[in-house]
Amino acid sequence: MATTETTERRRAESPARRRAESPARRRILDTAGALFYAEGIHTVGIDRVIAEAGVAKATFYHHFPSKDELVRAYVQEQSDRVHATTVVRGDTPQERILSVFDDLGDFICGPGFRGCAFVNAAAEYPDPDHPVRRVVAEHRAWFHGILRDLLTEAGRSEADADRTATMLTMLRDGLVVAGDLDDPAATRALAREAVTRLLA
Amino acid sequence: MATTETTERRRAESPARRRAESPARRRILDTAGALFYAEGIHTVGIDRVIAEAGVAKATFYHHFPSKDELVRAYVQEQSDRVHATTVVRGDTPQERILSVFDDLGDFICGPGFRGCAFVNAAAEYPDPDHPVRRVVAEHRAWFHGILRDLLTEAGRSEADADRTATMLTMLRDGLVVAGDLDDPAATRALAREAVTRLLA
DNA sequence: CCGATGGTAGACAGATCTGTCTGGTAATGT
DNA sequence: ACATTACCAGACAGATCTGTCTACCATCGG
């Protein structure tokens, strides 16, 4: 092994990423995340991101080859964050499914909620082959998979679990959209009942 | 009455609108509608709209004071079009509700489908007080009202009709989102069953 | 005949966008 | 001691954006 200790440690810290974390990169990603989510992607320029991140322009282009790549990283990080914070609770499969939607209900009622980052990003990137859309598709497949597994656990057939998981994923989309466009609290209040009905 | 006959006729043709239809305005609106829906709003510039509509720049600004106003008119027209083309069919209330979602299923499988124009527009206009968002909110209230009335017709209590209508509206949102981000045909295939379960 | 209206064509201003480039500083591993 | 790396500051180019303005043409009611 000819690689240095630091390189080793870097690789160990973030095995999936080639480039290691750096404070500047972190600041860029945090700032971009907040701005893109709150105000939309195309409305927020690079100049704005680097200004609010307190970073030089050259530094930005050192870490990201283009704005598109930053957007991709933003969506990817949203997905990573959801993965990391999703904790399925409950004893029975039904309770575990409900817990997922309970968290979703809290999410849409939380401060600064502005719709689903994935749905919103997809709205600004129509091309289905765009990297951003691919990340969104992956995230949706992941969410669907969680529900499908829980439904299989609950004793449903593979086909039924798949179909019901798809319906629950649609409900998820409906919740985040309605939470943004209508009353979040009223939306949350109906989540459990909607899930229960779809599970019937 | 001192007004001329033509002015009278114009007012009679479009009572809600102050300005009468003109070929140029119609072309602008059609072009903008196609471009905004297919490619997103902020990505499509005014220059592009006037070029593809075959209209002079001064003509555009003669009919619309700003791009924002064009966007508002675009969303409004989408809403008007849905109002005009929505036909509720069926003998029983349940069948009538299902027919609404059948049409929705056909819509998401149709050529050029690119998600919900209202959801996509809202994603690009975060401010809830923005005119665009107001039109979106009105449209959603209209859709919710149709379902609520059908459910009341079906003999449900006012509270139940309202709650169930909200759940069905969420399903609608889920359908158009999933139709765009996942497989449209597979999504449509589950619409009826999801409605039926939510009606239980 | 005349004035209002709606239209075309296109230059222009001023802002803003992405991305490049130069030049300098500070830390750090070898 | 030195080379590399990460970072900052900011000018710059080239494109594109919204919106204004001038100049001209056609139609049509009065």
CA distance A76 to A61: 19
User: What is the CB neighbour count within 10 angstroms for residue B65?
Assistant: 9
What value does the mean pLDDT take over residues B140-165?
97
CA distance A169 to A174: 9
Give A42's contacts in chain B (Cβ within 8 Å). Answer: 40, 42-43, 124
| pLDDT tens per residue across span A49-67 | 999 999 999 999 999 999 9
Copy the structure tokens of residue A143: 């969410």
pLDDT of residue B2: 38
Show me where the domains of chain A are located. Answer: 4-72, 86-199
pLDDT exceeds cutoff 70 at B11? no
Please, which residues have CB within 8 angstroms of residue A161's CB and are 6 or more apart in sequence? A148, A149, A151, A152, A154
Separation in Å: C13 C1' and A154 CA: 67
Please judge whether B166 and A197 are an interchain contact, meaning their C-beta atoms are less than 8 angstroms apart: no
CA distance A35 to A53: 11
**The CATH classification of domain B4-72, taken from the options 3.40.50.2300, 3.30.1380.10, 1.10.357.10, 3.40.50.620:** 1.10.357.10
- Given this structure, which CATH class describes domain A86-199? mainly alpha
| pLDDT tens per residue across span B33-75 | 999 999 999 999 999 999 999 999 999 999 999 999 999 999 9
Please judge whether B39 and A126 are an interchain contact, meaning their C-beta atoms are less than 8 angstroms apart: yes
Instruction: Pick the more confident residue, A182 or B5.
Output: A182
Please judge whether A177 and B173 are an interchain contact, meaning their C-beta atoms are less than 8 angstroms apart: yes
User: What is the CB neighbour count within 10 angstroms for residue A16?
Assistant: 5
Give B169's contacts in chain A (Cβ within 8 Å). Answer: 174, 178, 182
Whether the CB-CB separation of B176 and B119 falls below 8 Å is answered with: yes
Least confident window among A4-8, A71-75, A83-87, B82-86 = A4-8
DSSP run (H or E) holding A119: helix A117-124
CA distance B146 to B100: 10
What value does the mean pLDDT take over residues A60-79?
97
Give yes or no for CB of A6 within 7 Å of strand C: yes
pLDDT of residue A62: 94
pLDDT of residue A94: 95
- Tell me A55's DSSP state: -
CA distance B179 to B117: 13
**Residue-averaged pLDDT of chain B:** 91
Give yes or no for CB of B6 within 7 Å of strand D: yes
Whether the CB-CB separation of B125 and B200 falls below 8 Å is answered with: no
Nucleotide nearest the Cα atom of A68 (by C1'):
C18
* Dihedral pair phi/psi, residue A138, rounded to 5°: -60, -45
Quick one: which residue's CA is nearest to D11's C1'? A57
Nucleotide nearest the Cα atom of B53 (by C1'):
C8
- Tell me B86's DSSP state: -
pLDDT exceeds cutoff 90 at B9? no
pLDDT exceeds cutoff 80 at B12? no
Give A190's contacts in chain B (Cβ within 8 Å). Answer: 163, 166-167, 170
Instruction: Pick the more confident residue, A17 or B132.
Output: B132
Give B197's contacts in chain A (Cβ within 8 Å). Answer: 167, 197-198, 200
| pLDDT tens per residue across span A16-32 | 333 458 899 999 999 99
Whether the CB-CB separation of A18 and A102 falls below 8 Å is answered with: no
Burial status of residue A1 (CB atoms within 10 A of its CB: 0-12, 13-18, 19 or more):
exposed
Residue type, position A45, single letter: G
- pLDDT confidence of B21, banded at 50, 70, 90? confident
Give yes or no for CB of B170 within 7 Å of strand C: no
CA distance B20 to B29: 13
- pLDDT confidence of A39, banded at 50, 70, 90? very high
| pLDDT tens per residue across span A121-143 | 999 999 999 999 999 999 999 99
Please judge whether B177 and A177 are an interchain contact, meaning their C-beta atoms are less than 8 angstroms apart: yes
Give yes or no for CB of A55 within 7 Å of strand D: yes
Q: How many CA atoms lie within 13 A of A123 on its CB side?
A: 28
CA distance A44 to A42: 5
pLDDT exceeds cutoff 60 at B5? no
pLDDT of residue A66: 96
- pLDDT confidence of A12, banded at 50, 70, 90? very low
- pLDDT confidence of B20, banded at 50, 70, 90? low
Give yes or no for CB of B126 within 7 Å of strand C: no
What value does the mean pLDDT take over residues B184-198?
98
CA distance B170 to B159: 17
pLDDT exceeds cutoff 90 at A87? yes
pLDDT exceeds cutoff 60 at A11? no
Length of chain B: 200
